């Protein structure tokens, strides 16, 4: 899995020049989707220390920050590292169809919009969101409860956060095309999905623009209207970008937070005995996933503002740093002191520093994921995996950690039916 790129690293500065390991960069795509990612990161740590040279798609060089302390340093020191891709010293190597371009491009000029989005999310009523999530969960489960089997990722985990968010945005799930939105988000944001991502973004833009126009004339207590009514007076373009950011950032990680938690509950004996015991075990599982199997694995990124030294590496102005969230969470220097299963919330799954997932968003994510998992266990108490755990497949992505499918079985319409 390690590609010997010593020559490339020496000629392609940065990263590579000044690199004490003398190259040995790993292609990030080759880290993708394995069973035990912590072992992969451990090997990288053993070879390179807390900051490793890596290659992004198209062999574009970057640094992967693997250490917990180093990742905190990079995300707190906004005077040294900015979420500002305009600083990148590798733009000359980036073709217009570079697969990671959408993840980089959206970050430009986003600080005004991000601040407003954070404020607006703070106004969302958590009780109302929980009520909506319960309703959506009930509707979704009712569609498959009588079958006795389901593929939970598509039938539940992906659909629930999207439907809840669409309703919090004041959209009408059917009229505003929630199902099509989900498909387009997958094509647009998921680089493994087939389809033309530029066209998918155009359709997303058109759909949300129509909602924005409607809310301009008829505001209501929802996210879109609040973005429109904010005192900074965002333009329609900024509001559309804000809504895409909220839904785009929320849907996929929350879906995989739900999926990875259900997976943990159904495959780990520590939880199996406690699943029916109440919400404590669900809370523990949700927290453990954010430490040890976080949906956010690696994050692109930060860009060095000036030459600096990080974990003994010379990082040049304009170098790109990938935030190794999963690696940092499993940093032995931290895990040794902070067992993940306890109520320690110092994981980095939501990012860190100024550009982290906004605090109100993390509370909303928690409501959506917890309600989804609890509703599932309440309604289908004997739910079990319908396949050998080893047959489950993780998405082949270096960025997102989640299952491609989660087949489950249960007594159709509840346990009483099976007993009868």
Q: How far is the CB of 418 from ligand HEM (least distance, A)?
A: 34
Q: How far is the CB of 114 from ligand HEM (least distance, A)?
A: 3
Q: How far is the CB of 6 from ligand HEM (least distance, A)?
A: 31
CB-nearer residue toward ligand HEM: 291 or 410: 291
CB-nearer residue toward ligand HEM: 33 or 358: 358
SS3 62: strand
Kindly list the residues in this chain that would bind ligand HEM in the complex (CB under 6 A).
Answer: 83, 110, 114, 117, 121, 245-246, 249-250, 253-254, 257, 290, 294-296, 299, 349-351, 355-358, 361, 364-365, 368
Q: How far is the CB of 184 from ligand HEM (least distance, A)?
A: 18
CB-nearer residue toward ligand HEM: 281 or 352: 352
Cα–Cα distance, 263 to 201 (Å, whole number): 31
Q: How far is the CB of 407 from ligand HEM (least distance, A)?
A: 23
CB-nearer residue toward ligand HEM: 156 or 257: 257
- Name the token pair of 344: 């320690």
CB-nearer residue toward ligand HEM: 181 or 250: 250
CB-nearer residue toward ligand HEM: 290 or 377: 290
Q: Which position's Cβ is nearest ligand HEM?
A: 357
Residues whose CB is less than 8 angstroms from the CB of residue 32 and which lie 6 or more positions away in sequence, other chains included: 395, 396, 397, 398
CB-nearer residue toward ligand HEM: 19 or 403: 403
CB-nearer residue toward ligand HEM: 19 or 140: 140
- Residue (of 43, 191, 221, 195) closest to 120 by Cα position: 221
Residues whose CB is less than 8 angstroms from the CB of residue 337 and which lie 6 or more positions away in sequence, other chains included: none
Q: How far is the CB of 110 from ligand HEM (least distance, A)?
A: 5
Q: How far is the CB of 178 from ligand HEM (least distance, A)?
A: 15
The DSSP-derived string for 272-315 is: HTTGGG-HHHHHHHHHHHHHHS-SB--EEEEEESS-EEETTEEE
Cα–Cα distance, 418 to 420 (Å, whole number): 5
Q: How many other CB atoms are found less than 10 A from the CB of residue 343?
A: 8
CB-nearer residue toward ligand HEM: 8 or 335: 335
Q: Give the bridge partners for 7, in sequence order.
A: none
Q: How far is the CB of 95 from ligand HEM (least distance, A)?
A: 23
SS3 41: helix
Q: How far is the CB of 409 from ligand HEM (least distance, A)?
A: 27
In this structure, what are the phi and psi dihedrals at residue 396, rounded to the nearest 5 degrees? -80, 60
Cα–Cα distance, 44 to 381 (Å, whole number): 41
CB-nearer residue toward ligand HEM: 117 or 137: 117
Q: How far is the CB of 368 from ligand HEM (least distance, A)?
A: 6
Q: How far is the CB of 351 from ligand HEM (least distance, A)?
A: 3
Cα–Cα distance, 133 to 126 (Å, whole number): 10
Whole-angstrom CA distances from 383 to 40, 150, 237, 305, 410 are 32, 10, 44, 51, 5
- Residue (of 130, 132, 108, 112) closest to 120 by Cα position: 112
CB-nearer residue toward ligand HEM: 274 or 356: 356
Q: How many other CB atoms are found less than 10 A from the CB of residue 171?
A: 26
Instruction: Return the DSSP state at 320.
Output: E
- Name the token pair of 180: 């099509």
The angle subtended at Cα 388 by Cα 382 and Cα 390, nearest 5°, is: 130
């Amino acid at each position: 899995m390690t590609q010997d790129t010593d020559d490339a690293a020496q000629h392609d500065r940065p990263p590579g020049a000044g690199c004490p390991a003398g190259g040995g960069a790993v292609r990030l795509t080759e880290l993708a989707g394995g069973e035990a990612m912590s072992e992969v990161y451990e090997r990288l740590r053993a070879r390179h220390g807390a900051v490793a040279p890596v290659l992004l798609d198209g062999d574009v060089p970057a640094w992967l920050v693997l250490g917990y302390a180093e990742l905190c340093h990079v995300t707190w020191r906004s005077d040294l590292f900015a979420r500002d891709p305009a600083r990148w010293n590798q733009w000359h190597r980036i073709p217009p169809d570079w697969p990671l371009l959408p993840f980089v491009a959206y970050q430009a000029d986003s600080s005004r919009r991000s601040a407003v989005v954070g404020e607006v999310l703070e106004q969302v009523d958590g009780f109302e969101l929980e009520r909506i999530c319960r309703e959506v969960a009930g509707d979704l489960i009712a569609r498959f409860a009588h079958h006795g089997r389901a593929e939970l990722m598509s039938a539940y985990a992906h659909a629930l956060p999207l439907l809840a968010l669409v309703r919090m945005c004041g959209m009408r799930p059917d009229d505003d095309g929630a199902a099509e939105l989900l498909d387009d988000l997958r094509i647009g944001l998921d680089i493994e999905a087939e389809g033309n991502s530029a066209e998918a973004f155009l359709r997303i833009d058109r759909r949300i623009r129509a909602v924005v126009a409607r809310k301009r004339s008829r505001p209501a207590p929802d996210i879109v209207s609040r973005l429109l009514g904010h005192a900074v007076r965002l333009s329609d373009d900024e509001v559309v970008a804000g809504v895409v950011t909220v839904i785009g950032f929320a849907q996929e990680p929350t879906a995989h937070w739900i999926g990875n938690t259900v997976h943990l509950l159904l495959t780990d004996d520590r939880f199996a005995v406690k699943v029916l015991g109440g919400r404590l075990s669900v809370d523990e599982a949700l927290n453990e996933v954010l430490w040890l199997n976080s949906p956010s694995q690696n994050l692109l990124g930060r860009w060095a503002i000036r030459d600096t030294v990080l974990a003994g590496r010379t990082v040049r102005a304009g170098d790109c740093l990938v935030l190794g969230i999963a690696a940092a969470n499993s940093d032995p220097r931290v895990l040794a002191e902070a067992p993940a299963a306890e109520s320690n919330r110092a994981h980095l799954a939501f990012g860190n520093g100024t550009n982290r997932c906004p605090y109100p968003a993390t509370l909303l994510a928690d409501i959506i994921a917890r309600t989804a998992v609890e509703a599932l266990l309440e309604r289908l108490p004997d739910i079990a995996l319908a396949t050998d755990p080893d047959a489950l497949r993780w998405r082949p992505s270096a960025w997102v950690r989640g299952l491609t499918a989660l087949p489950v079985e249960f007594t159709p319409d509840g346990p009483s039916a099976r007993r009868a």
